[in-house]
Amino acid sequence: MSRKRISMRKIKEVLRLKYEADLTYEEIGQSISIGHTTVGEYINRAKEAGLRWPLPDDIDDSKLEQLLYPRSENKKDQKPLPDWHYVHKELKKKSVTLFLLWEEYKETYPDGYEYSWFCRNYKEWSGKIDVTMRFNHKAGEKLFVDYAGQTVPIIDKNTGEIKDAQVFVATMGASNYTYAEATWTQSLPDWISSHVRAFKFLGGVPEIIVPDNLKTGINKACRYEPDINPTYQQMALHYRCVVIPARVKKPKDKSKVETGVKIVEQWILARLRNIKFFSLHDLNTTIKNLLKDLNTRSFQKLPGTRQSTFEELDKPALKPLPLQPYVYAEWKDVRPGSDYHIEVDRYYYSVPYQLSGKKLEARITENIIEIFYKNKRIASHRHDPAIRFTTLPEHMPEAHKKHAEWTPQRIINWASKTGKSTARTVEVIMESRMHPQQGFRSCLGIISLGKKYTQERLEAACSRALAIGSPSYKSIRAILEKGLDRLPPQKEGPQQTSFINHSNIRGPEYYQTKEGENTYADSSDY
């Protein structure tokens, strides 16, 4: 198995679920999308390395990989595993025995496992085929979540437009205690927020969340190894619970939530069919009241209510809520270029320059951008909508730090000492770049030409370059080298001095930076 960054994350999650949540290998495998044999391998390697959960604070991903997979280990020395699917199929053929198949295995792999191991492990593997799971729900163990098939129309008071609201449903396994709420979408932010409010409603956290294979929470629906969305996984980690999605085409896995959805549709949504709602708040207030009636209604064939059963069974077994609710965050794979900046929604944030070209992860909240390498945080930036380009000095190589004190306004002021045309030239160059810092090198080059050709000639050359619509370092240098600055000045035409008005083009007010603001130059221009 490839020991990439994601493997180290999953190994940590395996150890947490084993020693903190006390789950079985199968439950752990379902939760984090790996096979149960792989779970066993991870746990065995951790035992051999003397590791348990929680891991010591000084063990990062690199050190964990070294402990679990020593460099001296050679994959070629590992004994090859038999193909159990092939063994199982061949055994159905007449006169074929396990002993015969083991002999064939040993002929192919002379250093392979012995017969007793072969028989024992095949028996274990075959015993797990098509085993029907029995659902005896333990107190406080599982919360089943899904969206109702029905939606509720909401009318915009101003426009009369009708928009359908989605209905989120969560049902406890043991007590059938139910929570429901309306949201505008089934998108990831609404999905996560509904979970957070459901936990608050319950007053605690179950051990396991069982969603249907909803695309919002599950990146890839698979019968055996569904891939859970990283944000959903982070939320579960925050609440110290586990996500085990319902298996594809296995109705018994999701019968509880389907029953809960059906009851919400019949008991709540059916009662709303003739009511007009003009806001999401009004709809949720009505759902809240009807939900109270549902949970306190007596069972038909059992004593008590959902509420009383929840108070007796589920609530005492729930884990306590964390001190702070989960703050919604999205994850994005990023890779910094040669300028050691990553891009998030067209905003740019620096990372240590040594990580240029490396695959990193960005955790994005409303106000903070955190950047991780091998699951270790290596940078954090506060998001300011007014600043497109944020660079921390400690991320810059030494050769670039000496330029960090330069700002666009300082370059314009310096160019103004030569003349108005020189100042306008450097201003135009910075306005034409995605980031003004990308024009620093050209601007400094133009200003330096004044030392070689005098400031008077430089001012004349900049005036000519503006007149012909070619304000660049190469053009101005050519004008000076050929003495064109000494010719009579050309007349400026509107088409030569007008520049495109675009969202990426900045005016002089853009360069009025706040005190202490990070506006360091792009490294590729030094």
20 touches 239 (CB < 8 A)? no
Can you give the C-alpha Rg of the chain in angstroms? 33
Delimit the CATH 3.30.420.10 region(s) of the chain: 142-317
DSSP strand E in 367-506: where?
A: 368-373, 376-382, 389-390
Q: State pLDDT tens for residues 486-522.
A: 887 665 444 344 444 444 444 444 444 333 333 333 3
Superfamily of domain 142-317 in the CATH hierarchy: Ribonuclease H-like superfamily/Ribonuclease H (3.30.420.10)
pLDDT of residue 223: 40
Q: Mean pLDDT, 10 residues at a time, over the chain (526 residues)?
A: 59 87 86 81 86 84 81 58 74 71 83 86 71 54 90 89 93 90 91 94 93 59 52 89 74 64 87 89 93 88 80 89 87 82 86 88 86 89 82 76 66 88 89 68 86 91 91 91 83 45 45 38 32
What is the pairing mode between strands 347-350 and 389-390?
parallel
pLDDT of residue 51: 86
3-state helix, strand, coil in the chain (%, to 5): 45, 15, 40
265 touches 259 (CB < 8 A)? no
pLDDT of residue 225: 40
Distances (CA, A) of 105 to 94, 102, 497: 19, 5, 81
Per-residue b or e along 132-153, where b marks 16 or more CB atoms closer than 10 Å to that residue's CB: eeeeebebbbbbbbbbbebebe
Measured CA to CA, the distance from residue 180 to residue 286 in angstroms comes to 11
**Burial of 362 (C-beta count, 10 Å sphere; 0-12/13-18/19+):** buried
User: Hey, what are 370's tokens?
Assistant: 């955190």
pLDDT of residue 128: 64
pLDDT of residue 294: 92
**3-state DSSP assignment of residue 49:** coil
